[in-house]
Structure 1
Amino acid sequence: MSCPVCGSSAVVTFDRRLRVPVHQNKLCRSRAEALHTPTGRLEMTGCRTCGFVWNDAFDPDLLVYDDTYENDQTCSPAFRGHFDGRAARVAEALGDLDGARVVEVGCGQGDFLARIADLGGDAIVGATGFDPAWRGDDGDGPGGTRIFRSYYEPATAALAGGPPDAIVARHTIEHVPDPVGFLKTLRAAAGAGTPARIFLETPCVAWIVANDQIQDFFYEHCSIFTASSLARALREAGFGPARATHVFDGQYLWAEGGFGEDDPSGPEIPDFDRWADEKRRYVDRWRAVIAAAEAEGPVYLWGGGSKGVTFTLLIDPDGAHLSGAVDINPKKQGGYLPVTGLPILAPEALPERGATVIVMNPAYRGEIEAQAKALGRSARFIPLVEQATRAEDGPEEGPEEGTA
């Protein structure tokens, strides 16, 4: 066993889970469908040389990305601000070019690509997206974009109308078991002699490990990077110079390659050796928190996406103690969390008072409490990250919390 990025054999498998959904963002419209969601195994393995992490038990044949896959986060004002900022960054970074052609890989329903085209104005002469989960007709797309229900590779590159000046891939590379090979395919599709620039966004494994975010490992995310290992992968694929920085409160990495200067920083190696003990303490602690809260009223998660699905499997796998998950994405509302079958509710469905709400992502805490207050819901809010990073093994003193 060796690292897929640097080839080192100095690796360690630090987390094993026998039953996780292969798609945590699949729309399950009945509880029966949710309970019978296909599952796979996690064997999260880390490289002690470059910091890259991957699922050594990953089987890509289990995954099917189609129109039942729903991971849109732009219903959140906080995420929308981040989304707009990243689109503006791409448009700005192409400002020195005379008529740029942009390709987005894994573009979903084209919202980000359309935003780049809008911000770039006449400077963007072509905006083409590729995604097998595209729900429209081939060649259609929002805001003057063109989207195709296929992968971007040399065989489909001509659909972009010519070599791209920029390739964008947000939250895509973590789904690929051979990330360097994936990047090399993009480089080949762009044309070996073209000066293509690349922009990537992906979760940061250093943030996950440092903050003991046990619920942030998912089956779909088979390749997770540190900043230095992501920049290294871009250089290995021929996109150097390359560099990566932290965005979205440190949760994500934003990498750029093919222009500018290289990042000279050395490798960042997460502390894999403490993970097993932290995972045990995390599960015990949160079960105790929920048991105490349940004695006072119903307990909900706020967030019916990846974090909520995995947290529920770790803490309440039978769905016996949590009352459901709240999500502001209307496409998720009325559905059920994969495997546990917990219902996904609109914020309006929360009880007017007496509920405890565990906030899955701290970046959304402010807007969640404001929305609950605007709806006349008085609840006790517990943010996941503060509780996860507490030094205590138990909930005796109680986590930092708020009410609305």
Structure 2
Amino acid sequence: MGYSTNFEESQHFSSTFNNFAKGLAHEIAQKCAIVGKHVLEIGCGKGEFLRELCMAGGATGLGIDPGYRADKGRNEDYGDIQMIVDFFGPDYQHLQADTVLCRHTLEHIGSVSTFVRLIRKMIGERTEDWVVFETPDAKRVLVESAFWDIYYEHCSYFSPGTHARLFRQEGFDVTDLELVYDDQYIVQYARPSAGPTAPRLPLEHDLEEMRRLAETFPARVRAVQDFWQERIRAAYAAGRRVVLWGGGSKAVSFLTTLQLGDEVWAAVDINPYKQGKFTPGTGHPVIAPGDLLDTPPDLVIVMNPIYLNEVAQSLNALGLRPEIIAV
């Protein structure tokens, strides 16, 4: 799968997400003691988090991402940070870092064992390096029947247990495993080991639960899809204007899976680099919040419930009072 500099994935225009990112950056800086050290981020996106981390911990940084783009106003240089616009692969196994960071990238990798093995080979005999990964939690997707969180860009899905087992079998000792951001993301800390290590953290023991959730997922997800189709089509039939808040992958999966067209008027996104574009597959316009003043919505469906308060505040600031619900 190809990712170009036109790919736009940043969540850093949200105050909710920025507060989370700042807190996580300080946690990583403290746990990994990065003061005066070097951080390598694989899949750094537009580099916002790498800069936040290096500023928080007084470290230098190197980011690698085929989609990196230097945009004026959001990713100016802060300190000693460099970027490589490319995919991480064998050509970069000579790189050295005290902390290797990889956030929301592993799920885009097909051969995850090969990918993790390459990182282990890059680290070599260095035993004090830290490896920190953040990845969406597939267990939550199964529990909530969140079909909007399943899309083709995600080649691989992980529960905390499968995530840790992958690293343990490839020569890492997983020291910490936690769920963050309203339990949506897995954050894992690991260090190199001489060989495979045994599971010892509470979140690792989830295999039987995952099996049960997977068995009941098809029936449960059909019921959730039926609910949303009926809710949105009833609103449209009643003459209500429906918009989605969030114009990214969740919205695309939601719209295409439910085969929604005119029933949804538009997708709202606060990321200015998405505004003026259209959702793939369905062609819904992606608009700025201020555009709602010209055509006020009656029903706003928020594509991630963690943003409910932020969205409500934005609509209130515009003087709009639609019904607001979250998936």
Same fold (TM over 0.5): yes
Q: What residue in structure 1 maps to residue 256 of structure 2?
A: 313
Which of 246, 252, 255 lines up with 2:185 in the alignment? 252
Which of 85, 92, 104 lines up with 1:149 in the alignment? 85
Query: Which one scores higher on RCO, CA 8 angstroms, separation ≥ 6?
Result: 1
Which of 300, 306, 310 lines up with 1:367 in the alignment? 310
Which one-letter code corresponds to 2:140 in the other structure?
A: W
1:32-89, Cα deviation, whole Å (9 max, x unpaired): xxxxxxxxxxxxxxxxxxxxxxxxxxxxxxx210011001001111111111111111
Q: What residue in structure 1 maps to residue 280 of structure 2?
A: 338
Instruction: Check the 8 A contact 1:154/1:188 in 2, yes or no.
Output: no
Which one-letter code corresponds to 2:163 in the other structure?
A: L
Which one-letter code corresponds to 1:337 in the other structure?
A: T
Instruction: Check the 8 A contact 2:126/2:192 in 1, yes or no.
Output: no
Q: Distance in 1 between matches of 2:200 and 2:61?
A: 27
Which of 79, 88, 94 lines up with 2:26 in the alignment? 88
Q: Distance in 1 between matches of 2:127 and 2:89?
A: 15
1:151-198, Cα deviation, whole Å (9 max, x unpaired): 33442244x5xx211100000000011212211111112224443211
Which one-letter code corresponds to 1:221 in the other structure?
A: H
Q: Which runs of 5+ in 2 are unaligned?
A: 194-198
Query: How many residues are treated as equivalent by the alignment?
Result: 312
| Matches for 1:5-404 after TM superposition, within 5 Å | 63-95=1-33, 99-121=36-58, 124=59, 126-136=60-70, 142-143=77-78, 144-158=80-94, 160=95, 163-258=96-191, 262-263=200-201, 265-268=204-207, 269-270=209-210, 271-294=213-236, 295-317=238-260, 319-351=261-293, 353=296, 355-384=298-327
Q: 1:109 to 1:287 in 2, by over 3 A?
A: same
Moved more, 338-347 or 175-184: 175-184
Which one-letter code corresponds to 2:28 in the other structure?
A: V
Q: What residue in structure 1 maps to residue 196 of structure 2?
A: none
Q: Distance in 1 between matches of 2:149 and 2:104?
A: 14
Per-residue deviation, 1:254: 0.6
Which one-letter code corresponds to 1:156 in the other structure?
A: Y
Moved more, 272-281 or 256-265: 256-265
Which one-letter code corresponds to 1:325 in the other structure?
A: A
Q: What residue in structure 2 maps to residue 30 of structure 1?
A: none
Q: Which runs of 5+ in 1 are unaligned?
A: 1-62, 385-404
Which one-letter code corresponds to 2:66 in the other structure?
A: P
1:273-308, Cα deviation, whole Å (9 max, x unpaired): 211112221222111101222214211101100110
Sequence identity, in percent? 32
Which one-letter code corresponds to 1:226 in the other structure?
A: S
Q: 1:333 to 1:98 in 2, by over 3 A?
A: closer
Moved more, 218-227 or 251-260: 251-260
More helix by share: 2
Per-residue deviation, 1:104: 0.2
Which one-letter code corresponds to 1:359 in the other structure?
A: V
Q: What residue in structure 2 maps to residue 53 of structure 1?
A: none
> Secondary structure in 2 aligned to 1:102?
strand
1:313-343, Cα deviation, whole Å (9 max, x unpaired): 12234x1211010111011111100010011
Q: Distance in 2 between matches of 1:226 and 1:330?
A: 32
Q: 1:236 to 1:365 in 2, by over 3 A?
A: same
Which one-letter code corresponds to 1:364 in the other structure?
A: Y
Q: Distance in 1 between matches of 2:298 and 2:172?
A: 50
1:242-286, Cα deviation, whole Å (9 max, x unpaired): 432110001111111018995254234321121111222122211
**With structure 1 as the length reference, what TM-score do the two structures score?**
0.73
Q: 1:189 to 1:136 in 2, by over 3 A?
A: farther
Which one-letter code corresponds to 1:108 in the other structure?
A: G
**With structure 2 as the length reference, what TM-score do the two structures score?**
0.89
> Secondary structure in 2 aligned to 1:75?
coil
Instruction: Check the 8 A contact 1:242/1:259 in 2, yes or no.
Output: no
